[in-house]
């Protein structure tokens, strides 16, 4: 099976151009470059020429309208790092551009097996010269510093000179849109020149961010075949930019190959960035073919572990592959960074990391690439100290309060009601720690980092909540649903906190069993009384329940509010957040996204099935799904409740969110949480997979229209494959074992590779 997504178009329209820049961006977890056309776009067309390095940020002002004590007035913002995308071609005296002359053929594609994007063009110039052009791009997984543009230009009906001008601009700005709260409001250049060097036709341009003081060097070098008659690289100190200019005479039908090697080195990873950039260039230059092969090998290994195939619905299947590929492209792998809400594809949400990583994307990595999941958790451990400081800032004497949105560990949410107040992120990170441990049994991780994170997050809850009349209450927080703010006893938050406290106690027990408790407890000042306190608070955790409706209310006051009339709200007023004052929304029962339903998915055991079912029915009437994090969760719960029609409907087009631009903002970047959520919908929803302490459980059902489903996953070092087709399913042990498998029909134990558990699909 080939995994290729392609778009054929005569000419991208105004809307499509920026969208395609997102869809066809190249990234490798370290750097990401938007799929901007090499020749640029005509004036007036929306284009965002962005290249980003994961975790490379500037500290920018975040002015509050009124001064509020201990509310941060600066934030970290992902910086557009450089513009290395410009390649202008002049073909026998006529400048090439998709917007002049005639496009006889134009196709853009993303090849997810080879890890490249391509643009194939046959262009007839205004004077009738026809040229075949191919632009191939790659962000290398083997050499993460490298972004490569590889062009092939063939004159089809003429012979003539091809002139090349390839640019390297160091002082770039970020994109801004003052009308969209999800983007930066103003644009300025955050970079200052910090050195330049031109050697061997290679330009190295160094910059430093004005306030955060982070350095970055980009290097650009070209290879041409046939070699140019004249080639020179010139540096313009006023613009802190370089340009490579060359020309070559071509026969009719003779191809020109131009390769533009661009390397990025940043101070956080590489120390002396110029030295690192020169080394990186020396390591990659002239090796394009070998690096293409390495790229293909990396992806073959990726698909081997991550392939998730939907049979019978080729559109959904391709979109699924697209989503998984994007998750792989977006994930930071060095423990210094994580996965931004838009990956490395655009500037939406300013490159910030949210709970999205732990709750929506980690399940994919934990099940398919646990080593990468470990790195993502490592990033949170690295920022634990900053989370402790954040807790103190908010008046908590103990524990760690992770920021709602951040890059380097500090709180970056400007609007604390729907930001900092989302304390559930603490429980989300703790959830991911224990889910990772549960899935991998990685004892070293728990001892070295995980247990400490569980402890510090549990400590936070003890300071946020309090006991009253035998119940542990958590007041004045915001749950995941951002249309309801600052409430008492948000069901999701309390359920997460309960789990967090229990997992901290459990981790301490494990350390005890492994004989390392004493040293750990002494280092972190843990006492038995403290752990007993966690256990009591977890036991007494208050989880709102309404007797009359028989549901779990989202929080203490939720059901007292009037219900927002979603049906009567004009279609063009969605998403509500862009059309109504927040206070107006807060006074109603209306949900942006899954909140209590998400709690029911994660902590099934806390509510009886009939309560979950009534709750599901209740919340589906008042949820707008204005957040892309919502439908996938409703889908999982519908699967668990046996609501087939609903499950299929909720899965619906979620999987195609970015390919169909269903939220209308994919031009600002992909929706990574939704991508992970769709994976969860398939694996945890339709296949009904749960990882338990003593094995795995499946509860499969195939939605209408699909003929089969298969995916591989890992559990405690063993590899397993799930397959469902023709009314039957099977779970096969591929490597490792033994693994216990619980199916709706029976409990089995897969002893050795090849063993299977099977049964009839619901």
Task: Rule CB under 6 A: say whether 452 interacts with ligand BGC.
Answer: no
Reference 566, options 546, 594, 585; nearest CA is: 585
Beta bridge pairs of residue 747: 742
Beta bridge pairs of residue 758: 730
- We find the least distance from the C-beta atom of residue 457 to ligand BGC, in angstroms, to be 18
Residue 716 main-chain phi, psi, to 5 deg: 45, 50
- Of the listed pieces 110-118, 139-147, 353-361, 606-614, which binds ligand BGC according to CB under 6 A? 353-361
- We find the least distance from the C-beta atom of residue 593 to ligand BGC, in angstroms, to be 6
- Of the listed pieces 149-157, 222-230, 350-358, 541-549, which binds ligand BGC according to CB under 6 A? 350-358
Q: Are strands 739-742 and 695-697 parallel, antiparallel or unpaired?
A: parallel
Of 333, 592, 625, 732, the one binding ligand BGC by CB under 6 A? 592
| Cβ nearer to ligand BGC, comparing 349 with 436 | 349
| Cβ nearer to ligand BGC, comparing 449 with 658 | 658
Task: Rule CB under 6 A: say whether 482 interacts with ligand BGC.
Answer: yes
Task: Rule CB under 6 A: say whether 356 interacts with ligand BGC.
Answer: yes
Q: Hey, what are 559's tokens?
A: 């059901």
Give me the 655-674 binding string for ligand BGC, x by CB under 6 A, dash otherwise.
------------------x-
What element of type H or E holds 305?
helix 288-306
Contacts of 306 (CB under 8 A, 6+ apart): 324, 328, 364, 368, 369, 712
Angle at alpha carbon of residue 625, lines to 623 and 626, rounded to 5°? 120
- Of the listed pieces 352-360, 377-385, 387-395, 437-445, which binds ligand BGC according to CB under 6 A? 352-360
Task: Rule CB under 6 A: say whether 355 interacts with ligand BGC.
Answer: yes
Cα-Cα-Cα-Cα torsion 570, 575, 579, 580, nearest 10 degrees, comes to 100
Contacts of 716 (CB under 8 A, 6+ apart): 439, 440, 441, 736, 739
Taking the C-alpha atoms of residue 402 and residue 489, their distance in angstroms, rounded to an integer, is 19
- We find the least distance from the C-beta atom of residue 422 to ligand BGC, in angstroms, to be 8
| Cβ nearer to ligand BGC, comparing 57 with 123 | 57
CB 684 within 8 A of CB 690: yes
- We find the least distance from the C-beta atom of residue 544 to ligand BGC, in angstroms, to be 21
What element of type H or E holds 716?
none
| Cβ nearer to ligand BGC, comparing 620 with 668 | 668
3-state secondary structure 69-83: CCCCCEEEEECCCCE
- We find the least distance from the C-beta atom of residue 355 to ligand BGC, in angstroms, to be 6
Taking the C-alpha atoms of residue 363 and residue 370, their distance in angstroms, rounded to an integer, is 9
- We find the least distance from the C-beta atom of residue 411 to ligand BGC, in angstroms, to be 14
CB 443 within 8 A of CB 514: yes
**Coil vs helix vs strand at 733:** strand
| Cβ nearer to ligand BGC, comparing 25 with 208 | 25
Among residue numbers 221 through 280, which ones bind ligand BGC (CB under 6 A)? none
| Cβ nearer to ligand BGC, comparing 181 with 441 | 181
**Coil vs helix vs strand at 696:** strand
- We find the least distance from the C-beta atom of residue 153 to ligand BGC, in angstroms, to be 40
Reference 267, options 208, 192, 326, 328; nearest CA is: 208
Q: Hey, what are 522's tokens?
A: 């002494």
Taking the C-alpha atoms of residue 233 and residue 165, their distance in angstroms, rounded to an integer, is 10
487: Cα within 13 Å, side-chain hemisphere: 31
- We find the least distance from the C-beta atom of residue 629 to ligand BGC, in angstroms, to be 5
| Cβ nearer to ligand BGC, comparing 47 with 345 | 345
CB 600 within 8 A of CB 684: no
Give me the 671-690 binding string for ligand BGC, x by CB under 6 A, dash otherwise.
--x-----------------
Task: Rule CB under 6 A: say whether 629 interacts with ligand BGC.
Answer: yes
Give me the 114-153 binding string for ligand BGC, x by CB under 6 A, dash otherwise.
----------------------------------------
Taking the C-alpha atoms of residue 429 and residue 442, their distance in angstroms, rounded to an integer, is 17
- We find the least distance from the C-beta atom of residue 353 to ligand BGC, in angstroms, to be 9
66 in catalytic set: no
- We find the least distance from the C-beta atom of residue 481 to ligand BGC, in angstroms, to be 8
Residues 182-188: contacts with CB under 8 Å, at least 24 apart: 182/348, 182/349, 182/665, 182/668, 183/347, 183/348, 183/350, 183/668, 184/60, 184/77, 184/347, 184/350
Task: Rule CB under 6 A: say whether 411 interacts with ligand BGC.
Answer: no
Of 26, 28, 478, 627, the one binding ligand BGC by CB under 6 A? 627
Q: Hey, what are 415's tokens?
A: 């609007």
Q: Hey, what are 687's tokens?
A: 């296949």
Of 340, 341, 421, 576, the one binding ligand BGC by CB under 6 A? 341
- Of the listed pieces 52-60, 161-169, 347-355, 578-586, which binds ligand BGC according to CB under 6 A? 347-355
Taking the C-alpha atoms of residue 652 and residue 90, their distance in angstroms, rounded to an integer, is 46
| Cβ nearer to ligand BGC, comparing 482 with 723 | 482
- Residue among 482, 620, 637, 646 flagged as catalytic: 482
- Of the listed pieces 223-231, 349-357, 512-520, 601-609, which binds ligand BGC according to CB under 6 A? 349-357
In the DSSP assignment, the letter for residue 564 is P
- Of the listed pieces 28-36, 54-62, 351-359, 607-615, which binds ligand BGC according to CB under 6 A? 351-359
What are the residues binding ligand BGC (CB under 6 A)?
Answer: 341, 349, 354-356, 480, 482, 592-593, 627, 629, 673
Catalytic amino acids? 482
């Amino acid at each position: 099976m080939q995994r290729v997504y392609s778009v054929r178009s005569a000419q991208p329209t105004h809307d499509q151009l920026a969208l395609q820049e997102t869809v066809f961006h190249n990234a490798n977890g370290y750097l990401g470059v938007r799929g901007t056309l090499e020749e640029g776009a005509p004036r007036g067309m929306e284009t965002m020429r962005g290249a980003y390095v994961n975790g490379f940020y500037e500290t920018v002002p975040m002015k509050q309208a009124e001064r509020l004590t201990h509310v941060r007035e600066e934030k970290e913002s992902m910086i557009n790092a450089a513009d290395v995308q410009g390649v202008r071609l002049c073909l026998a005296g006529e400048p090439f551009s998709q917007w002049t002359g005639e496009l006889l053929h134009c196709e853009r594609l993303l090849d997810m097996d080879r890890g490249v994007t391509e643009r194939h063009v046959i262009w007839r110039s205004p004077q009738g010269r026809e040229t075949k052009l191919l632009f191939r791009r790659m962000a290398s997984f083997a050499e993460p510093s490298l972004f490569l543009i590889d062009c092939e230009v063939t004159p089809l009906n003429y012979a003539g000179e091809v002139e090349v001008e390839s640019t390297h601009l160091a002082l770039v700005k970020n994109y801004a849109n003052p009308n969209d709260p999800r983007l930066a409001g103003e644009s300025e250049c955050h970079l200052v020149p910090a050195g330049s060097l031109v050697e061997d036709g290679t330009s190295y341009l160094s910059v430093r961010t004005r306030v955060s003081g982070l350095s970055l060097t980009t290097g650009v070098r070209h290879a041409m075949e046939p070699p140019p008659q004249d080639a020179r690289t010139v540096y313009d100190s006023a613009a802190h930019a370089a340009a490579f200019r060359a020309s070559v005479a071509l026969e009719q039908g003779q191809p020109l190959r131009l390769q533009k090697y661009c390397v990025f080195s940043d101070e956080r990873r590489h120390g002396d960035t110029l030295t690192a950039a020169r080394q990186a260039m020396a390591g990659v230059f002239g090796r394009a073919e070998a690096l293409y092969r390495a790229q293909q090998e990396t992806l073959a290994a990726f698909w081997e572990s991550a392939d998730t195939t939907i049979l019978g619905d080729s559109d959904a299947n391709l979109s699924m592959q697209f989503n998984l590929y994007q998750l792989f492209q977006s994930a930071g792998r060095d423990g210094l960074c994580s996965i931004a809400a838009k990956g490395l594809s655009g500037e939406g949400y300013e490159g910030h990391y949210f709970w999205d990583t732990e709750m929506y994307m980690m399940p994919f990595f934990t099940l398919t690439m646990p080593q990468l999941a470990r790195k993502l958790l490592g990033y949170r451990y690295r920022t634990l100290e900053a989370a402790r400081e954040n807790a103190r800032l908010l008046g908590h004497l103990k524990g760690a309060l992770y920021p709602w949105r951040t890059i380097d560990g500090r709180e970056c949410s400007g609007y604390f009601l729907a930001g900092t107040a989302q304390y559930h992120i603490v429980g989300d990170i703790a959830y991911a720690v224990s889910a990772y441990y549960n899935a991998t049994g990685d004892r070293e991780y728990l001892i070295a980092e995980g247990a400490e994170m569980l402890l510090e997050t549990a400590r936070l809850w003890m300071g946020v909540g309090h006991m009253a009349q035998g119940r542990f209450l958590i007041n004045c927080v915001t749950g995941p649903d951002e249309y309801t703010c600052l409430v008492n006893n948000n069901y999701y938050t309390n359920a997460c906190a309960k789990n967090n406290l229990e997992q901290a106690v459990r981790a301490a027990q494990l350390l005890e069993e492994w004989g390392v408790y004493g040293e750990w407890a002494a280092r972190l000042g843990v006492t038995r009384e403290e752990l007993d306190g966690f256990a009591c608070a977890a036991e007494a955790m208050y989880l709102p329940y309404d007797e009359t409706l028989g549901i779990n209310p989202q929080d203490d006051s939720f059901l007292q509010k009037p219900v927002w009339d979603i049906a009567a709200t004009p279609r063009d007023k969605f998403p509500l957040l862009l059309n109504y004052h927040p206070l107006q929304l807060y006074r109603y029962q209306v949900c942006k996204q899954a909140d209590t339903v998400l709690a029911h998915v994660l902590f099934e055991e806390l509510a009886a099935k009939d309560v979950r079912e009534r709750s599901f029915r209740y919340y589906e009437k008042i949820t707008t799904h204005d957040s892309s994090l919502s439908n996938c969760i409703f889908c999982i719960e519908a699967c668990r409740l046996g609501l087939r029609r609903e499950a299929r409907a909720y899965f619906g087009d979620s999987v195609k969110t970015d390919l169909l631009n269903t939220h209308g903002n994919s031009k600002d970047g992909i929706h990574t949480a939704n991508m992970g959520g769709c994976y969860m919908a398939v694996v945890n929803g339709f296949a009904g997979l749960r990882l338990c302490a003593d094995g795995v459980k499946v509860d499969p059902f195939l939605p209408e229209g699909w003929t089969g489903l298969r995916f591989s996953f890992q559990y405690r070092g063993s590899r397993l494959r799930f397959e469902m087709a023709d009314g039957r399913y099977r779970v096969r042990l591929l490597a490792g074992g033994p693994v216990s498998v619980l199916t709706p029909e029976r409990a089995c134990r897969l002893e050795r590779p090849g063993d299977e558990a099977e049964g009839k699909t619901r």
